[in-house]
Amino acid sequence: MENDTSGKLPNVKINDFEGPLDLLLHLIKQAKMDIYDIQISKITAQYLAYLHINQQLKLDIAGKYLIMAATLMRIKSKLLLPSEPSIDEETTEEDDPRLDLVTQLVEYQKYQEAAQNLQIQETNRQQAYTREEAAVPDGMQLAHLAPGLTIETLKQAFEQVLIKQDQSQPIYRTITDDPVSVTEQIQMIKNSLIQHPQGMTFNSLFTDTISSTKIVVTFMAMLELVKKQQIDFQQSTRLGAIKLFNSGDEANDQ
């Protein structure tokens, strides 16, 4: 038994699995067992062998795996006990101590396969490229602007900026002091808006910004300006770009 399992397990690492169910499914597939007819003894041995190899499991992760080990051993011991003579023949199926575990595994496996399907969809979708919305020519404004913007969309837009920033993060960088004040950024936004009387997009304020301090300070400056009612936000479509305007600007007066 020992030789049999250790031959198959050396490459298995804790990080490869999402949890005890994932590991168990892997072992069942590897042993080419029918999920509805798990050979508990064999699987328990392999499962324990796996835990032995990964003895340096972190305590919080190990707990989950140990609970499963205990469950497996409980099932194994029940299977070994001679079954009580049951009066009602119909109940035999429900007496199978593996049933709960199998139900759980089948349910989990369903969603694992569904996740793989989603991954195919994801890859396919990423084959289709779109381009950015055309820039509004000078002296014109977007016709389908409708006022109204919720905190939620603003939050989402900011999170998008953070994700973008996160993805463009260089691997190595020097840490330097980065003194930017909200007052400075307020002035920066005001200046930019003077240069862009047609309004400017939310994202354009965050281009080429590498430091997260600066992003946060800029965002705060923006909120400050809204609070003082010096600028307005507008969003044309539900997922469209958010635009900033000077309050009382003619561009906004329609």
Partner 1 sequence: MTSNIQKIEALLFVSGEDGLSLNDLSEMTGFMKPAITAMLDKLSRKYQMDSDSSLSVLHFGETFRLATKSEVADVIKNYFDAPQLTKLSPASLEVLAIIAYKQPITRLEIDEIRGVQSGTMLQKLTIRDLIGEAGRLEEPGRPILYKTTNYFLDYFGLKTIDQLPALPNIQPDNSSSSKDLYLKQFNEKLHENEDE
Instruction: Name which position in 86, 119, 212, 213 contacts partner 1 (CB under 8 A).
Output: 119
Stretch of 51-59, 91-99, 201-209, 221-229 lying at the interface with partner 1 (CB under 8 A): 91-99
Instruction: Name which position in 91, 129, 150, 174 contacts partner 1 (CB under 8 A).
Output: 129
Single-letter amino acid code for the residue at 170: P
Complete edge-to-edge strand list for the sheet that includes strand 200-201 = 200-201, 242-246, 231-235
Q: Does 115 bind partner 1 (CB under 8 A)?
A: yes
Instruction: Name which position in 6, 36, 178, 213 contacts partner 1 (CB under 8 A).
Output: 36
Nearer to partner 1, 96 or 224 (CB): 96
Q: Does 107 bind partner 1 (CB under 8 A)?
A: yes
Nearer to partner 1, 141 or 230 (CB): 141
Nearer to partner 1, 167 or 254 (CB): 167
Q: Does 241 bind partner 1 (CB under 8 A)?
A: yes
Interatomic CA distance for residues 246 and 215, integer angstroms: 20
Q: Other C-beta atoms within 10 Å of 11: how many?
A: 7
Stretch of 152-160, 169-177, 207-215, 220-228 lying at the interface with partner 1 (CB under 8 A): 152-160
Q: Does 164 bind partner 1 (CB under 8 A)?
A: no
Q: Tell me the CA distances in angstroms from 17 to 21, 22, 23, 113, one per residue in order.
A: 9, 6, 6, 15
Q: Does 113 bind partner 1 (CB under 8 A)?
A: yes
Q: Does 84 bind partner 1 (CB under 8 A)?
A: no
Q: Does 172 bind partner 1 (CB under 8 A)?
A: no
CA 52, 53, 56, 61: dihedral to nearest 10 degrees? -70
Q: How far apart are the first and last CA of the chain?
A: 81
Q: Does 100 bind partner 1 (CB under 8 A)?
A: no
Residue 162: CB minimum distance to partner 1, A? 8
Which residues, other chains included, contact 204 with Cβ-Cβ below 8 Å and sequence gap of 6+? none
53 dihedral zone (left: phi>0; alpha: psi -120 to 50; beta): alpha
- Angle (CA) 142-144-146 rounded to 5° is 110
Q: Which of 68, 4, 52 is nearest to 30 (CA)?
A: 4
Binding site for partner 1 (CB under 8 A): 1, 18-22, 34-37, 39-42, 45, 64, 68, 76, 79-80, 83, 92-93, 96, 104, 106-119, 121-134, 143-144, 156, 159-160, 162-163, 167, 237-241
